[in-house]
Amino acid sequence: MRVVSLVPSLTEAVAVSAPGLLVGATDWCSRPAGLDVIRIGGTKNPDVAAVMRLAPDLVIANEEENRAPDLAALRAAGIEVLETEIRDLGQAFRELERVLVAGCSLTRPRWLDDAEAAWSALAPPGEVPAVVPVWRRPWMVLGRDTFAGDLLARLGFRNVYAGHAERYPRIPLEELRECGAQVAVLPDEPYRFAANDGPEAFPGLPAALVSGRHLTWYGPSLAEAPAVLNAALRVALH
């Protein structure tokens, strides 16, 4: 079987589960390290013709990561496209199984069982109000119905913008500073927040620098994400 992935998270999920199945992936597909496949452009601007030349049996996509016109062009060319939708952890587990088992005809991988077990073992959380920027210049934060927001909620952190009408609203910094958060959660992707780039914008507020891969990727990283994220979040609060 020949598979092209247009989603970094799903690229890692397929490559770890069945090395050699992938023949193409985006320029942003950085995991697993050393992945040797044809690169076909970005998630938002893939080279559709290059994908077609690879003659894949299946293209894996995501409704948020990829553009509908690109997926429509692939389908019009007779290529099967499996489009995922992932807004929370439960949906992520279901879609990962659909991609790997139904889409790629694989046996359900052990890492997926480990990931489900890791998250089900969490104690009932509290609710620490958190603001979660994902970009600056302009400032953008997690809003409603986001996978990352659901993970944080399961770890005991309530996204103060979870009720916003938009999923990734632009919020002025002055408003972010007055939103009632008790911690600023700063991932290193999509914007690469760092110790010297981000925390200074929230004076007097603890800042948790967290792994963007563990917060936003749905794949093998989910098995270790609770421990990795909890460690970073709790350090910020103590």
Question: Would you state the structure tokens that stand for residue 119, as one six-digit string?
Answer: 């998250």
3-108 CATH pick, 1.10.10.10, 3.40.50.360, 3.40.50.1980, 3.30.1010.10: 3.40.50.1980
Instruction: List the chain pLDDT tens, one digit each, 238 residues.
Output: 999 999 999 999 999 999 999 999 999 999 999 999 999 999 999 999 999 999 999 999 999 999 999 999 999 999 999 999 999 999 999 999 999 999 999 999 999 999 999 999 887 677 899 999 999 999 999 999 999 999 999 999 999 999 999 999 999 999 999 999 999 999 999 999 999 999 999 999 999 999 999 999 999 999 999 999 999 998 888 7
Residue 3 CA to residue 15 CA, distance in Å, equals: 10
DSSP for 168-209 reads S-B--HHHHHTS--SEEEEESSSS--BTTBSGGGSTTS-EEE
Q: How far apart are CA 157 and CA 185, in angstroms?
A: 10
Helices H / strands E in the chain, number of each: 9, 11
- The predicted model scores a pTM of 0.93
The angle subtended at Cα 90 by Cα 74 and Cα 99, nearest 5°, is 30
| Residue ranges of E strands in 74-206 | 81-84, 128-131, 133-135, 140-141, 157-159, 183-187
DSSP-derived letter for residue 46 is: B
Annotated domain spans of the chain: 3-108, 123-237
β-pairing, 81-84 vs 58-62, is parallel
Q: Do the domains 3-108 and 123-237 sit in the same CATH topology, yes or no?
A: yes
Phi-psi region of 49 (alpha: psi -120 to 50; beta: other; left: phi over 0): alpha
By C-alpha distance, which of 186, 14, 237, 177 is closest to 105? 14
Instruction: Indicate the CATH number of 123-237 among 3.90.1170.50, 3.30.360.10, 3.60.15.10, 3.40.50.1980.
Output: 3.40.50.1980
